[in-house]
Structure 1
Amino acid sequence: MGAFGGRAAIAGIGATEFSKNSGRSELALAAEAVRAALDDAGLAPGDVDGMVTFTMDTSPEIGVARAAGIGELSFFSRVHYGGGAACATVLQAALAVAAGVARAVVCYRAFNERSGRRFGAGVRHREPSAEGVALGWSLPFGLLTPASWVAVQASRYLHLHGLEPEVFGHVAVTARRYAATNPAAYFHGRPVTLAEHAASRWIAEPLRLLDCCQETDGGQAFVVTSTERARTLRHPPAVITAAAQGAAAGQEQMTSFYRGEPGRLPEAGVVARRLWRDSGLRPSDIDVGILYDHFTPHVLMQLEEFGFCAPGGAGEFVAADRLPLNTHGGQLGEAYLHGMNGIAEAVRQLRGSAANQVADVAHVLVTAGTGVPTSGLLLGADG
């Protein structure tokens, strides 16, 4: 069963309220989420000896440890590339647990992404760096925001497969349908129709407003420990069956327009091959898919890269509801937490406690941000 052999599991999940103006510091959000995850697991702060977060997180591990009452740390790590880091935080934690470097590792992410720095505003200033030089090939041509970068890929995807922008609406409608019945979702009680999707204003053609994830203030955290230890805690373990990171050849950050076919997500393919190989599972074994949905076209492309359907067939796949997809509402409907809230939903589905619970869930696929070096998880029920 790959590098982990089911030896590590997610034993606790915790989150703050998801809002548009938290009124609190990002450190306060991080500490609240961490404490909630520990309480969910039935562990004390002193039980934690490792922490993992994103390079983009403003709350350092030692600061969160002090704020949450955590003592000595023997392991701490960070993962780069924005939303692509989500599942990789759990990978790093699981590696530490499996290697005996740490016994209980907390993964966290917290930001005021709506009331503070808004990623959707795009690139306004960039210090000289290798990453900045790479962006220099696209920024002077007006490609300044994530939406504009993905719009190039989306246009190519539509052209390759002879599709119209309305195909993206199936993803938006599915996410908001689940969000409408999830009390924690920002869009609780507010589903949308295909007609409303098609009528929403253009952001960067062919992307409309309802093709773009929201902006959120909030925090999310998990506790990763050994599967054996997790069995003694408050909830059934969400076993880490497989975990992987992936960067494709010629990878750039959401502006990989010069590496071959721009209408695909080869970094997702790298992760998919590793997850299927290490787990022995196949798409037909997956009961719920939690796919990173910062923009609707990338959900379709991921379904194709992971082998759930043929190239160009993902719109029909989603429309036919062949796989429960982003049952919390995703980042389109619940909250934009850089994908961390999707991992929490996977755990709830395995526990049987999700707002939109799917029957008899044994295997959940979770993916992280695409268009950047990315990561993925296969989580399974214990036993």
Structure 2
Amino acid sequence: MAASCAIVGLGMTAQGIGLGIEARELRAQAVDLALQDAGLERDAIDGYIRCFVDREDLRYMGLSPNFSVSMMTGGATPAFSILSAMGMIMSGQAEMVACVYGEAHSNRAARGGQPIGAYGYGYPTLYGLMGAAATHAFHARRHMHRFGTSSEHLGAVAVTQREYAVNRPGTLGYGKPMTLAEHQASPLIADPFRRLDCTRDTDGGVALLVTTAERAKSLHAKPIYILGGGTGHNIGNWHTGAPFDNHDNIAPAKARAFKQAGMSIADIDMAQLYDPFTISPLMQLEAYGFVPEGQGGPFYAEGGARADGLIPTNTGGGQLSGYYTTGFTGIMESIIQLRGEAGAGQLSKASTALVSGHGMNAGVQNTWAHASLILGNTP
């Protein structure tokens, strides 16, 4: 599998709050931008994967693929869509698959619709447990209990990611620096999370074009190779009574991805990790082995995730300070860095990236799906 497929087109619309554009139009714009990036015409797309659910995209965009699939496993969906695209290509079902996301959360809120963050997760909803913040708070409190992690450590995650975003045009944090004191002064949302520990829903669209590594050589955009991928599911930790000790069941996802890539964590230049809340990248850095278990908080506080640290992490601001396109946020930032297109935020060493996706409970809180991707700018 290693480097058999590549991402050859990236289409990203404006990202933000209150764009005033409908979700389907955002997806259409993203597809057009991805085709332009790759130097392709519309009829080149012969496979279409819609991240989340919509049945009308093909008619609206005038596409005629061999297949159209809607896929939903929360914030892990984008990584799953890429792995699925590879499977369809390698099985001969398509040659150029579009993986597409686009949501207009502001429009939903303006119409009085339920915000996406109000989801309940299985039977605990009957007892008042609502929303992603409340469920992730279990991970944070458990980590605090076991290792002495503090609110200030969580704040260090938020401040680090804002430091990346403050110089990146188009992000929510652009030109808006944040201090640890400001983090600590922000109101509690779901103990121990403060407002600045939480991501914000944004409007935006993104499309990626996936094809074979061989075909990628002849296209316009610099190809980004998919070196490895893996999946895991935290329902296994639920069955053994330890779902809150583990942010996800990362071990099997990590093992498959790194085995396929023929790499170790020492070969990774940057981590772009799913970050709905500050506890998430902290625990994932531990689970992937960049940081000893329980030491994620001090690691962030000492600058380990900054551009000059051991492992630059969420270098575009992530979802906390960048924008929220579910798991596409980290994938897009990886592509931008691997292509050398990050401007003032470009890392000096950016040849490989670890990306994670996370989401969609299995009927009870904290039973998240997980996906790992290893991307590189050479096969």
TM-score relative to the length of structure 1: 0.89
Query: Structure 1: how far apart are the matches of 2:132 and 2:189?
Result: 11
The C-alpha deviation readout for 1:83-109, integer Å capped at 9, x for no partner, is 121211111111222222211000011
User: Is structure 2 residue 4 aligned with structure 1 residue 16?
Assistant: no
CA contact (8 A) 1:11 1:224 kept: yes
Residue 199 of structure 1 deviates from its aligned partner by 1.2
| Structure-1 residue corresponding to 2:97 | 105
User: Is structure 2 residue 319 aligned with structure 1 residue 323?
Assistant: no
The C-alpha deviation readout for 1:95-135, integer Å capped at 9, x for no partner, is 22222221100001111123315222334xxxxxxxxxx71
| Structure-2 residue corresponding to 1:278 | 260
TM-score relative to the length of structure 2: 0.90
The C-alpha deviation readout for 1:200-237, integer Å capped at 9, x for no partner, is 11000111111100111111110001111111111221
Give the AA of the match of 1:378. Answer: I
| CA RMSD after TM alignment | 1.8
CA contact (8 A) 2:155 2:180 kept: yes
User: Is structure 2 residue 119 aligned with structure 1 residue 122?
Assistant: yes
CA contact (8 A) 2:228 2:257 kept: yes
| Structure-2 residue corresponding to 1:343 | 331
User: Is structure 2 residue 362 aligned with structure 1 residue 362?
Assistant: no
| Structure-2 residue corresponding to 1:296 | 278
Query: Structure 2: how far apart are the matches of 1:258 and 1:192?
Result: 40
Residue 258 of structure 1 deviates from its aligned partner by 7.4
Unaligned stretches of 5+ residues in structure 2: 109-113, 305-309, 360-365
CA contact (8 A) 1:88 1:244 kept: no
Question: Structure 1 297/257 Cα, relative in aligned 2: closer, same or farther at 3 Å?
Answer: farther
CA contact (8 A) 2:248 2:370 kept: no
Q: Please, which moves more after superposition, 93-102 or 114-123?
A: 114-123
Q: Please, which moves more after superposition, 7-16 or 241-250?
A: 241-250
Q: SS of the counterpart of 1:368?
A: strand
| Structure-2 residue corresponding to 1:131 | none
CA contact (8 A) 1:236 1:382 kept: no
| Structure-1 residue corresponding to 2:371 | 375
Number of residue pairs the alignment of both structures matches: 360
| Structure-1 residue corresponding to 2:69 | 77
Q: SS of the counterpart of 2:130?
A: coil
Query: Structure 2: how far apart are the matches of 1:309 and 1:246?
Result: 20
User: Is structure 2 residue 30 aligned with structure 1 residue 33?
Assistant: yes
Residue 257 of structure 1 deviates from its aligned partner by 9.4
| Structure-2 residue corresponding to 1:130 | none
Q: SS of the counterpart of 1:224?
A: strand
Query: Structure 2: how far apart are the matches of 1:309 and 1:248?
Result: 21
User: Is structure 2 residue 138 aligned with structure 1 residue 152?
Assistant: yes
Query: Structure 2: how far apart are the matches of 1:159 and 1:257?
Result: 21
Residue 266 of structure 1 deviates from its aligned partner by 3.9
Structure 1 runs of 4+ aligned residues shifted over 6 Å read none
Residue 304 of structure 1 deviates from its aligned partner by 1.0
CA contact (8 A) 1:13 1:223 kept: yes
Query: Structure 2: how far apart are the matches of 1:304 and 1:79?
Result: 29
Unaligned stretches of 5+ residues in structure 1: 124-133
Give 1:66-215 correspondences, 5 Å limit.
Answer: 66-71=59-64, 73-116=65-108, 117-123=114-120, 135-136=122-123, 138-215=124-201
